[in-house]
Structure 1
């Protein structure tokens, strides 16, 4: 009986290992739809991102802009734990602004980002431009302006603050308080 119990435990643990959720990047296709915009991503220029959530295997959330994915990761309203974030490596040999690539993903945590460049993302807003290679990031910044930073150095207002004249900091005390609270919660962990 004891041998049967041990064998059952081994089989159960083997099944559990087989069920581990893959966080490998998924290719962009003509059917890939953006999480926020609900539009086909291959029709928009600039780098894209995908976020893999616990409990949703094989179906990452795709974002038409890298800054949108980073904002999503920093906001507290998520229902699922983030397992991985992948961003287009804009330094990959075939990557262009019009076609950033379908499988040239690099990990968001290890990527370098150009912030403050003159290039806008797929939805026409300021964009974080990710690179796997520092020299390519520096070359892009030399051509289009901006600063090369790590993910931890990207300020919240580069991804969370409203664009344009929708809400201007200082005009809405409630918004300002929420942004301050969010910034402080991100700094702590």
Structure 2
């Protein structure tokens, strides 16, 4: 009988779930972007992090807010999302060149400027997040774009094509050079 009682208690203890810590983590020199596998502190513009169920203490970091939103919309994303944070570009000391390492805000309540003129960490069009609506509006007045909530961001702003500089982007130049070498 004692053994059975101990077994039941042990089994009950195994079922106690420990709450996963989903507090935002500050960027460090070791913080690597999920998609680009590059150090995030080396790139300008706002960043994102996503905490997934079953991955305690190891959020996925993103070099751009648009990458963060794209990840959340991917059909391959299978883990339950517990928390999403983005850089607050209206935080004291935050600049586009140095957006801050610990000024995270809840992505679901942030105000986003979509369609502004500043590129993100990987050089693509970027979405700028702000904790305060007034900061987002001021940014949009200076840099263009529209202020909206997370769910209102169109897919076209998340995975937007890279603008071509005079129609002659790097891919086109390399393709032309290869064609010239092969006589094509």
* Normalised TM-score (structure 2): 0.80
Query: Is residue 141 from structure 1 mapped to residue 128 from structure 2 by the alignment?
Result: no
Separation in structure 2 between the aligned mates of residue 96 and residue 161 of structure 1, nearest angstrom: 23
Structure 1 unaligned segments of length 5 or more: list them.
Answer: 166-189
Separation in structure 1 between the aligned mates of residue 16 and residue 61 of structure 2, nearest angstrom: 27
What's the secondary structure of 1:138's corresponding residue?
A: helix
Separation in structure 2 between the aligned mates of residue 110 and residue 24 of structure 1, nearest angstrom: 16
* Runs of 4+ with deviation above 2 angstroms: 160-165
Separation in structure 1 between the aligned mates of residue 140 and residue 47 of structure 2, nearest angstrom: 18
Instruction: Deviation per CA, 1:132-185: give whole Å up to 9, x if none.
Output: 0000111111111111111111001110344346xxxxxxxxxxxxxxxxxxxx
What's the secondary structure of 1:163's corresponding residue?
A: coil
Separation in structure 2 between the aligned mates of residue 54 and residue 45 of structure 1, nearest angstrom: 29
Superposition RMSD in Å: 2.3
Q: Which has the larger radius of gyration?
A: 2
How many Å apart are 1:8 and its aligned residue? Answer: 3.2
Alignment of 1:46-61 (within 5 A): 46-61=45-60
Separation in structure 2 between the aligned mates of residue 115 and residue 142 of structure 1, nearest angstrom: 12
Between the two proteins, the alignment pairs up a number of residues equal to 163
Question: Corresponding residue for 1:16?
Answer: 16
Instruction: Deviation per CA, 1:72-103: give whole Å up to 9, x if none.
Output: 00011113221111000000012111111111
* Normalised TM-score (structure 1): 0.78
What's the secondary structure of 2:148's corresponding residue?
A: strand
Question: Corresponding residue for 1:33?
Answer: 32
Separation in structure 1 between the aligned mates of residue 89 and residue 160 of structure 2, nearest angstrom: 24
